Amino acid sequence: MYYQSTRSAERVTDTAAVLRGIAPDGGLYIDPELEKRPFDWQGCLSLRPLGMAEKILNHLLPGYADMHSLVERAYAGKFDTPELTPLVKVGEDYVLELFHGPTAAFKDVALSMLPQLVTAARGQEGVSDRIVILTATSGDTGKAALEGFHDVDGTGILVFYPADGVSPVQKAQMVTQAGANVKVCAVRGNFDDCQTGVKRAFAAINGSGALNEQGRRLSSANSINIGRLAPQVVYYFIAYARLVEQGAIACGERVDYVVPTGNFGDILAGYFARLMGLPVGRLVCASNANRILTDFLTTGVYDKRREFLKTTSPSMDILVSSNLERLLYLALDGDTARVAELMRQLSENGVYRLDGVALEKIQTVFSAGCCDERQSRETIGRVWKELGYLCDPHTAVAMQVAQEYKKARTGQTPLVVLSTASPYKFPAAVLTAIGGDRSGDEFEQMERLAALTGVPIPKGLQGLKERPVLHEDVIDREDLLDYVLCQASVL
């Protein structure tokens, strides 16, 4: 099976697509036949999570020789529940908890799997070069990628994060990461500066072959890599299977999903599940105050020429949502020239417009809403006080948008909110929202939050303050390419 670039006729095998991460033309790899290839989605529902993951990933990435072993190595014993992503009833709706992995964020589901996919692809493709994973993070991807790739044979990993754009807990998780093959660096700028710099580094280095003599080649752990996106499809099936199992729905009934997202990968995985046959109803895109995706999905205009807002939900503080490019490709029926032109307009002018049939096709599936800082804070407090459920600011954004969506929709379709991070990754914001004392640093706040609520601190976050800082580099965004060239040659 072949994956194709969203911007040209460039085609490669699925294993090669995972190794490359991004196409040479800057496009993202996608399966152009996904909707046409039959998949036994109903047969998936009776499987346990690891079996479900194996079946789904075999469908999305059929070129892998032994997906069973890869899934076992990725997940067995690494999450604090065998369910991987348990479904919890909160009020009249459901919350899919995606934060039970080693770094307490939803990225663990994909980034526990990606190192297995990369190393297996390296062997199957006969690649002797060392694979250097180049990653930009708005907070959670970085630590999850570091956790997955540290000391993995044949790989190195280089993570960039915005110097003032992640929470203290997220920063501590990254800068204390041990491993002979890891490097973490702060960038003076925001996440979009990191992400744009990484994309430009890919283009410059792959175009010039600058690392060839060092026996290095670049790949990515961001959701621009199809090997990172594919595992995220699994938890939509897990949620649906649990609803059927609990008698909340009959098999075949539709379910709506509300997803807090900035880079659009988490919600796009739900669309992939729908294309595979899962009865996904509407996919509701929940944005924070940066609201660029809400504006696009409601108007068709994507305009990044706006103020960048720093919020208490930093993983959504994004103005360039890379994975939206894959949705454009699908909505435009594979018109790569049109996708390439829209991406050129975004790069050069900061704006593009989608209209006509393509926009209508998107709007038949996707809804959108946004939540500002006040609403997020009030939602955390209300949900804790009225429902006894403690949520982080990203989940609060989705919960608020879910309530507004339910007021506007017709019908009573069951609704699942995706919860993307533990509240302990953002203790200051959560304590403020529930009326707790937020004095001291975030590590003291975690302890106080646990004492106040009785909700245990995730194992991966315990003792974080005592770990030594191992990564202190800070660079200007203009220096990112030179830094990559310097570090990648020795990782």
Specify if 329 maps to a domain. yes
* Whole-number pLDDT of residue 143: 95
Specify if 223 maps to a domain. no
Confidence of residue 411 (pLDDT cuts 50, 70, 90): confident
User: What is the average per-residue pLDDT within 281-310?
Assistant: 97
Angle of helix 324-331 versus helix 336-349 axis, rounded to 10: 140
Q: How would you class 386 by CB atoms within 10 Å of its CB: exposed for 0-12, middle for 13-18, buried for 19 or more?
A: exposed
Q: Reduced to 3 states, what is the DSSP secondary structure of residue 166?
A: coil
Specify if 429 maps to a domain. yes
pLDDT tens, residue by residue, 373-383? 999 999 999 99
Q: Side chain identity at 285, as an amino acid letter?
A: C
Catalytic pick among 107, 171, 199, 304: 107
Specify if 6 maps to a domain. no
Per the annotation, the verdict on 107 as an active-site residue is yes
Specify if 330 maps to a domain. yes
Domain of 315?
87-103+229-460
Asked if pLDDT for residue 206 goes beyond 90, the answer is no
Asked if pLDDT for residue 56 goes beyond 90, the answer is yes
Specify if 456 maps to a domain. yes
Q: Side chain identity at 363, as an amino acid letter?
A: Q
For residue 260, the cross-strand partners are 286
* Whole-number pLDDT of residue 223: 87
User: What is the average per-residue pLDDT within 142-165?
Assistant: 95
Specify if 342 maps to a domain. yes
Q: Mean of the per-residue pLDDT values for the chain?
A: 96
User: What is the average per-residue pLDDT within 254-264?
Assistant: 96
66-70, 197-201, 275-279, 326-330: segment of lowest average pLDDT: 197-201
Asked if pLDDT for residue 222 goes beyond 90, the answer is no
Residue % of the chain over a pLDDT of 90:
95
CATH of the domain at 444: 3.40.50.1100
User: What is the average per-residue pLDDT within 235-246?
Assistant: 98
Domain count along the chain: 1
Q: How far is 459 from 376, CA to CA, in rounded Å?
A: 26
Residue % of the chain over a pLDDT of 70:
100
Contact at 8 Å (CB) between 241 and 279? no
- Which residues touch 174 (CB under 8 Å, ≥6 apart)? 137, 142, 143, 146, 159, 161, 166, 184, 471
Q: Side chain identity at 337, as an amino acid letter?
A: A
* Whole-number pLDDT of residue 410: 85
Q: Reduced to 3 states, what is the DSSP secondary structure of residue 420?
A: coil
Confidence of residue 136 (pLDDT cuts 50, 70, 90): very high
- Three-state SS annotation for 26-67: CCCEECCCCCCCCCCHHHHCCCCHHHHHHHHHHHHCCCCCCH
Specify if 454 maps to a domain. yes
Q: Side chain identity at 63, as an amino acid letter?
A: G
Asked if pLDDT for residue 23 goes beyond 90, the answer is yes
Confidence of residue 71 (pLDDT cuts 50, 70, 90): very high
Q: Model-level pTM?
A: 0.95
